[in-house]
Every structure is written in C-alpha cells, then in structure tokens.
Chains A and B, each alone.
Chain A
Amino acid sequence: MKILVAVKRVIDYNVQIRVKEDGTGIVTENVKMSTNPPDDNAIEEAVKIKEAGKATEVVAISVGEEKAQETVRKALAVGADRGILVKAEGTVEPLAVSKILQKIVEKEKPDLVFMGKQAIDDDCNQTGQMLAALLNWPQATFASKIDVKEKSLEVTREVDEGLETIEVNVPAIVTCDLRLNEPRYASLPNIMKAKKKPIEQINASDLGIDTKPRIDQIKVEEPPKRKAGIKVASVEELVQKLKNEAKVI
C-alpha cells in the first residue's frame, strides 16, 4: 500500500499574526513558518502504518512557493520516503489544490491520501473533501483513530455530538484531527538523511491547472478589540460584579 500525504506551509501556530496596514492581507515577511499542525499528524500516521508493515511507501507533497520545500523536507525527516513539490505562486485556493492533488494521485496511484483536517491560516477545511469528490473516493474527515483492514479503513471521526465510526473502502481520503496521534520529532541523523531523499519539483501550470483565485479578497481587517477588563480581588467581588454589574447570573 502506498500513502500520499499532503502538507501545507503556514505561519507557525504560536505566532501572533498581524494584519497589513493597507488591509491587503497578513504580514508574512520575517515570520516563523511551520508545517500546518494536523498535517504533522497525517505524516505521523502514514509513517506508523508503514512501520507496522501495512504500507510500502509514504510520499509527502506540498503545493506552494519554492520555500514549501522545507515543509516537504521536514516530512522526509520524520519518515516519508520521497517528496513532491508542486510550485504555485500566491494564494492557491483549496479547489485548485485539490485539482493539483487529483493530477498527482492519477500519476502516483496511492491507495490512501492523508492530510490535516484544516489549515490554520485560511481555516477553510475543504481540500480533503474536495479531492475525495474529484476522485470519487470515500472521505473520512476529522479522524482521531484509523484501523487499516484488508481493503478498507475503519475510522473514528470527531463530530459535534461525540465520536462516529465509519468504514471506507480503499482507495480513500482521510483528513486528520490533532488527536489522531502524537507527532514525533525528527532526530538529527534523520534530518541529515532527509537531505538526501529526492524531492520532485513540478510547476502547477505544467499540470494544466489554473491556480488563479476564484474568490476576490476585498480586504482583511483586525477583529474588534475587547475593552480591557478588570481583576477582582476575591470570589465575593466576582459574584457581586456578575450579579449587579454584568447582570449575567
């Protein structure tokens, strides 16, 4: 079995982002970038499945600018066998990413495609489901547990009401929740080894995919600031304020 894992380069989750003064977007210059957190879970799961002898190859792919190569390299350092970078400039919407991934899937013929359930930059939560639709494959979204069976997966999904279990035939798309596993850190020897692993570079335009955004971003603004609150000295004062000032209890 072969697993393709899609990873995205995003602003690190610990960074307090800033909106550009002209309202055209978010400041990304000189900001720490990392792998989208649930994409780390996706890589981890694929590597674990390979280590368990149930997969033969893990291929990491990213779509984006040249620097997204670092994100692919990181996936190689935690156990992916080889990488693919599809180069595209500017904003690439989930629909375009899923079309690119569709082309790669048709070429690579993986049995499973894993990725994070949501990117923490645009918060769209679309790509996996879109790719599943384009390929007419089943989708197991928000996965917190994956059991690999003969020709299917049994997947536990985190849903609003609790947990849901579904079975999907292989080939399938799985989008991963942060609770799926505990991503490992890359060891220094593995980081060195990853430098020798191949990363194939392809231009999105060579795949015949138009990545021009369909959605116009008119402006980006900061959220309204909450007015500063106060510290209360005691539980009694807190209850009194909630009762008489805020009038919420």
Chain B
Amino acid sequence: MSVLLIAEHNNKEVKPFTLNAISAAAQVNEDVHVLVLGSNSDAVAKSISECPMVKRVIHINNELYENYLAENYTSAIVKLSGDYSHIICSANTFGKNLMPRIAALLDVSQVSDITKVISEDTFIRPIYAGNAFATVKSNDKIKCVTIRPTSFDPAPSSGGSAEIQNGEAGDATKLSKFIKKEEIKSDRPELGTARVVVSGGRGMQSGENFKLITAVADKLNAAIGASRAAVDAGYITNDHQVGQTGKVVVPDLYIAVGISGAIQHLAGMKESKVIVAINKDGEAPIFSVADYGLEADLFEALPKFLDELNKLNTIQK
C-alpha cells in the first residue's frame, strides 16, 4: 500500500519541510502520494508534482482550505485514508496540530517526531527532550507518523512529473474559524533550515542588545535563534525559540550567546555540526556540548567577534 503525505503550504509555495517529509515517506514506501489541501493552490500542486520521489499528487482545491484549520483538513484526510498504509507529515506546529486529530478518528496510536525509519512499522524517536531515543514498533493497521524535519534530507524538488489527481473536499467545520496570522517576515534564512544560527539568551539582558546578535548574523548570513528565557522576557518573538517546545535546528554552525544551556534548550540544538558557546559563566552547561567555548563577557566578545569576521577575506554564505 502507499504512503499519504500531507503537504504544508501557503497556497502559493510549498513549505520547505514538506520536502524533508517526502524523503522520510519515501524511506517507508516508495509509492508516495502527496495530498495538497488548498485554495487557488495549483502552483503548489504543480511544484510538488515535480519532485521525483512523488508518485502522485492529490489536489483538493476548495475555498475551505484557504486557511489551515485542523478540523477541516482532518475530514478530507480521513476520507482518503482507506487506501493507505501510512499517513505522514512534519512534526512542526503544522503537523503536531493535525496528525493526532486524524489518528484518533482512525483509532490509531500515533508515532510522533521520528528521527529515523528502521522499517515500515519501526521507527526511532527522541523522548525526554532528546535525552533518550526509543525504538518503537507500531502495530496499528494504518500508521500515523510525524517526522522530525531536520533529521531527513529534503527531497529533490525538480525533474519529476507526477500525475495530479483532483480530489473531493471534506466536510466544512462550523466549530472553529481562522481570524489572523501575524507572520514575521524576514529576509534572513529560515531558522529551521539555516546553515548558521546565532542565538541569544537571558544574558542578552534586553531586546535592544539583540542588535549585537543581528550584526553577527548579518555577517554570517545566519538565522537568529533564542532561548525560552529570552522569548519569555520579551527580548524577541516566539518564532525564534529553539528547544524542546520550540524549534529544533541542526545548522553547520550554532553560536549560543549568553545562553546557559538548560536541557530544554540543548534538546533543540545539540545535533548541530559545530557548536560555539560564548558565556561569562565558565560552569554553564552549554559548554558541555560546545566544540568551542569562549568564557567571556558577551558585550565585549560580540563586537570583537564582528571585527574579526570583518578582517576575513571571505566568509562562507
């Protein structure tokens, strides 16, 4: 049987983590069908049909899906579920909100946030903020699985030409209504996919001081992250939070500035390839995961770091 993958998009473009989910789905079973629930979303369906790993696109184009509501999505997905052995999507706020609603209606015990596919029913997933990894086997007839996007490479997005099949809309919910989305626009790379992330914590002391982080991030073409303490204190908005209940990032370079390194924060960044910690407390737990630790006052170290970067002839982008 085939895998049904639920695409995340904004009716114009496919969200990048959908590609990571496609490659995870293809590891489960090569017959990957992608469901696009959207409104005026032809461009999305077409773009996904060009992924060579995708065998079929099911496009349900209806104004019901102009904005994403789990209640509306679930009805359409449950109607299609009989033809599939697996239903998969990303374990970001999109998929976390959606998949359990589907699983419960199918009477399936969901497997959340997998980092590895062992076989079509066995997966590895982190528990306890990534301080342990569980190998789990699902015994349900249909498997509802969310995947940790940063643990799977994005699927190639061009060269394919999958068939696009139109599908029927599900029932419209009267239970909930979308009002608005305050999306923070930025020219920077996305936090989840950036090659370099520079993060600030409580040690930054104010939102104003984040300009020191911004300057370094500009120079390195980096995304800006933050610890929960910094978001709670109002220094920066929630979409920057890295950690157990925020975003998980695995950049080539993660620079943690003024972050002590609570296990909840480490859960979101400790798989990064190279970790730098700048902190004036030499005993801070962040140093235990750092490849390069600098024990220093960040207000002196960050301007100097920028100066040193400016002296370099070339910087990788």
Contact = CB atoms under 8 A, between A and B. Distances in A.
A binds B: yes
A123 B112 contact: yes
A216 B112 contact: no
B209 interface: no
A229 B292 contact: yes
Contact of A161 (B108, B184, B290): B184
A226 B293 CA distance: 14
A94 B179 contact: no
A160 B93 contact: yes
Interface stretch (B43-51, B52-60, B300-308): B300-308
B238 A158 contact: yes
B239 to A, nearest CB: 5
B274 A246 contact: yes
Interface stretch (B23-31, B130-138, B162-170): B130-138
Contacts of B181: 159, 161-165
Given A95-B107, A241-B292, A249-B315, A137 B275 contact: no
Contacts of A131: 104
A217 B104 CA distance: 20
A243 B176 contact: no
A246 B195 CA distance: 14
A137 B312 CA distance: 58
A178 B305 contact: no
Contact of B182 (A93, A125, A162, A166): A162
A117 B96 CA distance: 10
Interface stretch (A10-18, A71-79, A82-90, A199-207): A10-18
Interface residues of A, number: 81
A95 B103 contact: yes
A188 interface: no
B40 interface: no
A35 interface: no
A223 B97 contact: no
Majority SS at the chain B contact face:
mixed
B179 A130 contact: no
Interface in A201-215: 213-215
Interface stretch (A44-52, A57-65, A230-238): A230-238
Majority SS at the chain A contact face:
mixed
Interface stretch (A1-9, A140-148, A190-198): A140-148
A248 B222 CA distance: 12
Contacts of B91: 125
A222 B112 contact: no
A98 B179 contact: no
B12 to A, nearest CB: 14
A179 B178 contact: no
A169 B176 contact: yes
A227 to B, nearest CB: 8
Contact of A120 (B129, B182, B293): B129
A126 B315 contact: no
Contacts of A132: 101
A218 B113 CA distance: 17
Contacts of A105: none
B131 A223 contact: yes
A139 B97 contact: yes
A151 B111 CA distance: 35
Contacts of B105: 133-134
Interface stretch (B66-74, B153-161, B200-208): B66-74
A229 B244 contact: no
Contact of A235 (B174, B220, B304): B304
B308 A167 contact: no
Contacts of B196: 248-249
A118 B243 CA distance: 13
A141 to B, nearest CB: 5
A168 B174 CA distance: 9
Contact of A238 (B110, B178, B294): B294
Chain A to chain B: the 5 pairs with minimum beta-carbon distance, closest first: A138-B175, A129-B100, A130-B104, A214-B109, A126-B100
Given A95-B110, A126-B103, 9 more contacts: A130-B103, A166-B179, A216-B136, A221-B133, A223-B126, A232-B292, A238-B276, A246-B253, A249-B315
